[in-house]
Amino acid sequence: MRGKNELIRKQNRRIRAVEDSRAASRISRSDRRQRSPTPENNRSRSRSRSRHSPRRESSGSGDERHRGPLSRRIMDIPLPRGLEKPPTLDKYDGTTDPDEHVQSVETALDYRNLRGSIKCKLFPLSLVRGASTWWRNLPPGSIDLWEELCRMFTAHFTTSRRHPKTVASLKAIIQGPEESLRSYIERFNKLSVEVEAIDKMKLYLLEEGLRE
């Protein structure tokens, strides 16, 4: 009987030892979980840090922000001293001769000894209405030279070019039955300046158109 009781006590001690070991193991795992954040906590902390930390921009962020038709090279060129206030340029809306507008802009900017890159930066200031819309719709960074800009501009608005007048146009001008001589000569001279012909030819056609 005594041996049996001793055996029971030993078994009870072993059971308590096993239970104590399991309890200690559970406590240890619980401590580790509290000290080590879960993956979800890691993600939350990462999101929190990203919200509060300054955003790092990639090396190409400047190019991504650049959306105008002028190249980055042209945009980075500073305006010369004295151009803080842009010069006044004739306005172009897309309905008149594009070649004449280019010549007008070149005349105004050549007077200030401005090079092509600066001309490119100032040119869009002369565009209004339909011409301004054309400029805004050009591909980003597509213009890097003044000559290239002039070519693209005149090609797009080629239908607005003024058709050259010929000698035949002058020959068609005739003094009307009730038209005064002064009125006839003024009408003839207005067209005459647009015709490439020698003065003798123009004078001959002027006399030919007189009323008999």
Q: Give a three-class secondary structure readout of the chain.
A: CHHHHHHHHHHHHHHHHHHHHHHHHHHHHHHHHHHCCCHHHHHHHHHHHHHHCCCCCCCCHHHHHCCCCECHHHHCCCCCCCCCCCCCCCCECCCCCHHHHHHHHHHHHHCCCCCHHHHHHHHHHHECHHHHHHHHCCCCCCECCHHHHHHHHHHHCHHHCCCCECHHHHHCCCCCCCCCHHHHHHHHHHHHCCECCCHHHHHHHHHHCCCC
Q: Which tokens in the block code for residue 46?
A: 């990462």
End-to-end CA separation in angstroms for the chain: 162
pLDDT at 120 over 80: yes
pLDDT at 5 over 90: no
pLDDT tens for 21-73 read: 666 666 555 555 555 555 555 555 555 554 544 444 444 444 545 579 999 99
- Percentage, residues of the chain above pLDDT 70: 69
In the prediction, which pLDDT does 166 show? 82
In the prediction, which pLDDT does 33 show? 58
pLDDT tens for 74-101 read: 999 998 888 878 889 999 999 999 999 9
Average pLDDT over residues 123-146: 96
Average pLDDT over residues 104-116: 93
Distance CA 99, CA 155 (A): 10
**What's this model's pTM, rounded to 2 decimal places?**
0.55
